[in-house]
Amino acid sequence: MTTPALAGQKATAPNTLTASERAEGWQLLFNGQDLSGWRSFGGGAASPNWAVRDGALVLTSKTGEMSGGDLVTADSYGAFELTLDWKVERGGNSGVFYLARNAPGTRNIYETGIEMQVLDNAGHPDGKIPSHRAGSLYDITVPPLSAAHPAGTWNHARLRVEQGRIRQWLNGTLTADVPFGNDAWRKRVAASKFASMPLFGTFPSGVIGLQDHGEPVAFRNIKIRRLGASAR
Protein backbone atom coordinates (compact mmCIF):
# COMPACT_ATOMS: atom_id res chain seq x y z
CA MET A 1 0.00 0.00 0.00
CA THR A 2 1.21 3.49 -0.84
CA THR A 3 0.76 6.06 1.92
CA PRO A 4 1.00 9.80 1.27
CA ALA A 5 3.46 10.01 4.15
CA LEU A 6 5.97 8.60 1.69
CA ALA A 7 4.38 9.33 -1.61
CA GLY A 8 4.09 13.04 -0.80
CA GLN A 9 7.86 13.24 -0.61
CA LYS A 10 8.22 11.73 -4.09
CA ALA A 11 5.48 13.71 -5.84
CA THR A 12 6.70 15.97 -8.62
CA ALA A 13 4.60 18.85 -7.28
CA PRO A 14 2.74 19.65 -4.05
CA ASN A 15 -1.01 19.07 -3.87
CA THR A 16 -1.03 16.20 -6.35
CA LEU A 17 -1.96 12.52 -6.20
CA THR A 18 -0.02 9.64 -7.66
CA ALA A 19 -1.77 6.98 -9.73
CA SER A 20 -1.44 4.48 -6.88
CA GLU A 21 -2.96 6.93 -4.38
CA ARG A 22 -5.93 7.49 -6.66
CA ALA A 23 -6.38 3.74 -7.02
CA GLU A 24 -6.44 3.39 -3.22
CA GLY A 25 -9.15 6.02 -2.87
CA TRP A 26 -7.16 9.06 -1.81
CA GLN A 27 -8.58 12.48 -2.66
CA LEU A 28 -7.18 15.99 -2.42
CA LEU A 29 -8.94 18.30 0.02
CA PHE A 30 -6.91 21.28 -1.21
CA ASN A 31 -6.10 21.84 -4.88
CA GLY A 32 -3.28 24.31 -4.29
CA GLN A 33 -5.07 27.07 -6.18
CA ASP A 34 -8.21 28.19 -4.32
CA LEU A 35 -10.57 27.39 -1.42
CA SER A 36 -12.85 25.07 -3.37
CA GLY A 37 -14.44 22.53 -1.00
CA TRP A 38 -13.90 24.69 2.09
CA ARG A 39 -16.20 27.03 4.02
CA SER A 40 -16.44 28.87 7.31
CA PHE A 41 -17.33 26.73 10.33
CA GLY A 42 -20.14 29.15 11.10
CA GLY A 43 -21.50 28.81 7.56
CA GLY A 44 -20.93 30.70 4.35
CA ALA A 45 -17.73 31.74 2.64
CA ALA A 46 -14.33 31.38 4.25
CA SER A 47 -12.93 34.23 6.33
CA PRO A 48 -10.78 36.65 4.30
CA ASN A 49 -7.94 35.80 6.69
CA TRP A 50 -7.49 32.57 4.70
CA ALA A 51 -5.57 32.81 1.43
CA VAL A 52 -3.67 30.65 -1.04
CA ARG A 53 0.01 31.53 -1.40
CA ASP A 54 2.66 29.57 -3.29
CA GLY A 55 0.56 26.41 -3.29
CA ALA A 56 -0.23 26.55 0.44
CA LEU A 57 -3.44 27.28 2.33
CA VAL A 58 -2.41 30.11 4.66
CA LEU A 59 -3.98 31.86 7.63
CA THR A 60 -2.69 35.44 7.51
CA SER A 61 -4.15 36.76 10.78
CA LYS A 62 -1.72 38.00 13.44
CA THR A 63 -4.11 39.02 16.18
CA GLY A 64 -3.21 36.10 18.41
CA GLU A 65 -6.89 35.66 19.21
CA MET A 66 -9.39 32.98 18.18
CA SER A 67 -11.99 34.86 16.14
CA GLY A 68 -14.21 31.98 15.02
CA GLY A 69 -12.84 32.00 11.50
CA ASP A 70 -12.10 28.28 11.45
CA LEU A 71 -12.07 26.72 7.99
CA VAL A 72 -13.90 23.42 7.46
CA THR A 73 -14.58 20.95 4.68
CA ALA A 74 -17.87 21.02 2.84
CA ASP A 75 -18.18 17.25 3.33
CA SER A 76 -18.32 15.18 6.51
CA TYR A 77 -16.21 12.10 7.26
CA GLY A 78 -16.62 9.18 9.64
CA ALA A 79 -13.79 6.64 9.54
CA PHE A 80 -10.95 7.98 7.39
CA GLU A 81 -7.23 8.51 6.95
CA LEU A 82 -5.87 12.04 6.53
CA THR A 83 -2.39 13.33 5.74
CA LEU A 84 -1.13 16.88 5.40
CA ASP A 85 1.87 19.15 5.81
CA TRP A 86 1.82 22.13 8.16
CA LYS A 87 4.17 24.96 9.05
CA VAL A 88 3.94 27.69 11.70
CA GLU A 89 5.93 30.83 12.32
CA ARG A 90 7.78 31.48 15.57
CA GLY A 91 5.29 31.22 18.44
CA GLY A 92 2.54 29.88 16.18
CA ASN A 93 -0.49 27.90 17.33
CA SER A 94 -3.20 26.18 15.26
CA GLY A 95 -4.85 22.79 14.97
CA VAL A 96 -6.58 20.24 12.77
CA PHE A 97 -10.07 19.32 13.96
CA TYR A 98 -12.08 16.24 13.02
CA LEU A 99 -15.43 14.64 13.85
CA ALA A 100 -16.62 18.22 14.39
CA ARG A 101 -20.15 19.57 13.99
CA ASN A 102 -21.81 22.96 14.35
CA ALA A 103 -24.30 21.53 16.81
CA PRO A 104 -27.16 23.30 18.63
CA GLY A 105 -26.02 24.65 21.96
CA THR A 106 -22.40 25.11 20.85
CA ARG A 107 -20.54 28.12 19.42
CA ASN A 108 -17.00 26.89 18.79
CA ILE A 109 -15.56 24.02 16.79
CA TYR A 110 -13.58 22.76 19.79
CA GLU A 111 -16.79 22.07 21.70
CA THR A 112 -17.45 19.08 19.44
CA GLY A 113 -14.35 18.42 17.35
CA ILE A 114 -11.24 16.53 18.40
CA GLU A 115 -7.99 18.37 17.71
CA MET A 116 -4.59 17.34 16.44
CA GLN A 117 -2.35 20.11 17.79
CA VAL A 118 -0.27 22.33 15.50
CA LEU A 119 2.31 24.34 17.46
CA ASP A 120 5.75 25.86 17.72
CA ASN A 121 6.77 23.94 20.85
CA ALA A 122 9.81 26.11 21.52
CA GLY A 123 8.17 29.49 20.99
CA HIS A 124 4.61 29.13 22.32
CA PRO A 125 3.65 28.81 26.02
CA ASP A 126 1.61 25.68 25.26
CA GLY A 127 4.87 23.94 24.44
CA LYS A 128 5.49 23.75 28.19
CA ILE A 129 2.30 21.71 28.67
CA PRO A 130 3.00 18.11 27.57
CA SER A 131 -0.54 17.37 26.33
CA HIS A 132 -0.61 20.62 24.32
CA ARG A 133 2.53 20.00 22.27
CA ALA A 134 2.56 19.57 18.51
CA GLY A 135 1.09 16.27 17.41
CA SER A 136 -0.93 15.69 20.56
CA LEU A 137 -4.57 14.77 20.60
CA TYR A 138 -5.03 18.11 22.31
CA ASP A 139 -5.19 17.95 26.11
CA ILE A 140 -5.60 14.17 26.01
CA THR A 141 -2.32 12.57 24.84
CA VAL A 142 1.34 13.45 25.35
CA PRO A 143 3.53 13.25 22.22
CA PRO A 144 7.32 12.88 22.21
CA LEU A 145 8.85 16.36 22.27
CA SER A 146 11.23 15.33 19.49
CA ALA A 147 8.39 14.59 17.04
CA ALA A 148 7.98 18.18 15.83
CA HIS A 149 10.19 20.13 13.45
CA PRO A 150 11.15 23.72 14.32
CA ALA A 151 9.07 26.78 13.44
CA GLY A 152 9.46 27.83 9.83
CA THR A 153 9.86 24.26 8.54
CA TRP A 154 7.28 21.82 7.23
CA ASN A 155 5.89 19.02 9.39
CA HIS A 156 4.10 15.96 8.00
CA ALA A 157 1.03 14.80 9.94
CA ARG A 158 -1.03 11.67 9.57
CA LEU A 159 -4.35 10.88 11.23
CA ARG A 160 -6.27 7.60 11.10
CA VAL A 161 -9.79 7.28 12.51
CA GLU A 162 -11.19 3.76 12.51
CA GLN A 163 -14.25 2.40 14.24
CA GLY A 164 -13.40 2.64 17.91
CA ARG A 165 -9.79 3.78 17.49
CA ILE A 166 -7.89 7.01 16.78
CA ARG A 167 -4.21 7.28 15.89
CA GLN A 168 -2.07 10.30 15.05
CA TRP A 169 1.49 10.59 13.73
CA LEU A 170 3.82 13.56 13.33
CA ASN A 171 6.83 13.23 11.05
CA GLY A 172 6.49 9.44 11.24
CA THR A 173 6.31 9.30 15.06
CA LEU A 174 3.16 7.93 16.71
CA THR A 175 1.79 10.71 18.93
CA ALA A 176 -1.65 9.35 19.88
CA ASP A 177 -3.30 5.92 19.99
CA VAL A 178 -6.56 5.89 21.92
CA PRO A 179 -9.91 4.07 21.92
CA PHE A 180 -12.88 6.09 20.76
CA GLY A 181 -16.54 6.11 21.77
CA ASN A 182 -16.29 3.74 24.72
CA ASP A 183 -15.91 4.09 28.49
CA ALA A 184 -12.13 4.39 28.21
CA TRP A 185 -12.54 7.32 25.82
CA ARG A 186 -15.10 9.00 28.05
CA LYS A 187 -12.75 8.60 31.03
CA ARG A 188 -10.00 10.40 29.11
CA VAL A 189 -12.36 13.22 28.20
CA ALA A 190 -13.56 13.52 31.79
CA ALA A 191 -9.96 14.08 32.88
CA SER A 192 -9.39 16.83 30.30
CA LYS A 193 -10.44 20.47 29.85
CA PHE A 194 -13.33 19.18 27.72
CA ALA A 195 -15.13 17.58 30.68
CA SER A 196 -17.54 20.53 30.78
CA MET A 197 -18.39 20.23 27.06
CA PRO A 198 -21.01 17.46 26.80
CA LEU A 199 -20.82 17.08 23.00
CA PHE A 200 -17.03 16.95 22.70
CA GLY A 201 -15.85 13.81 20.92
CA THR A 202 -19.31 12.27 20.76
CA PHE A 203 -20.11 12.33 17.04
CA PRO A 204 -19.40 9.34 14.75
CA SER A 205 -18.74 11.65 11.79
CA GLY A 206 -18.14 15.32 11.10
CA VAL A 207 -16.14 17.91 9.20
CA ILE A 208 -12.38 18.37 9.04
CA GLY A 209 -11.37 21.81 10.33
CA LEU A 210 -8.31 24.07 10.25
CA GLN A 211 -8.10 26.39 13.23
CA ASP A 212 -8.02 30.16 13.10
CA HIS A 213 -6.04 30.89 16.26
CA GLY A 214 -5.05 34.35 15.06
CA GLU A 215 -1.49 33.26 14.29
CA PRO A 216 -0.02 32.55 10.83
CA VAL A 217 -0.02 28.90 9.76
CA ALA A 218 0.26 27.15 6.40
CA PHE A 219 -1.11 23.82 5.16
CA ARG A 220 -0.49 21.87 1.95
CA ASN A 221 -0.78 18.34 0.54
CA ILE A 222 -4.09 17.78 2.37
CA LYS A 223 -5.19 14.27 1.37
CA ILE A 224 -7.95 12.01 2.64
CA ARG A 225 -9.47 8.62 1.98
CA ARG A 226 -12.64 7.26 3.47
CA LEU A 227 -12.50 4.04 5.51
CA GLY A 228 -16.14 3.89 6.55
CA ALA A 229 -19.26 5.91 7.30
CA SER A 230 -18.83 5.98 11.07
CA ALA A 231 -16.08 6.21 13.67
CA ARG A 232 -18.12 4.14 16.11
Span 17-65, pLDDT tens digits: 999 999 999 999 999 999 999 999 999 999 999 999 999 999 998 888 7
Q: Give me the pLDDT at residue 124, please.
A: 96
Instruction: Label residue 3 by pLDDT band (50, 70, 90).
Output: low
Q: Which residues of 113-143 are buried (b: 16+ CB within 10 A; e: fewer)?
A: bbbbbbbbbeebebbeeebbbbbbbbbbbeb
Instruction: Report the SS3 class of residue 134.
Output: coil
For the segment 193-213, the average pLDDT, to the nearest whole number, is 98
CA distance 95 to 205: 18
Q: Which of 50, 24, 26, 25 is nearest to 38 (CA)?
A: 50
Whole-number average pLDDT of the chain: 94
Q: Give me the pLDDT at residue 9, please.
A: 46
Express each pLDDT in 101-157 by its tens digit.
Answer: 999 999 999 999 999 999 999 999 999 999 999 999 999 999 999 999 999 999 999
Strands lying side by side in the sheet with 93-100: 38-40, 71-73, 207-210, 93-100, 114-119
Q: Give me the pLDDT at residue 6, please.
A: 47
CA distance 42 to 22: 31
Phi and psi torsions of 166, nearest 5° = -125, 130
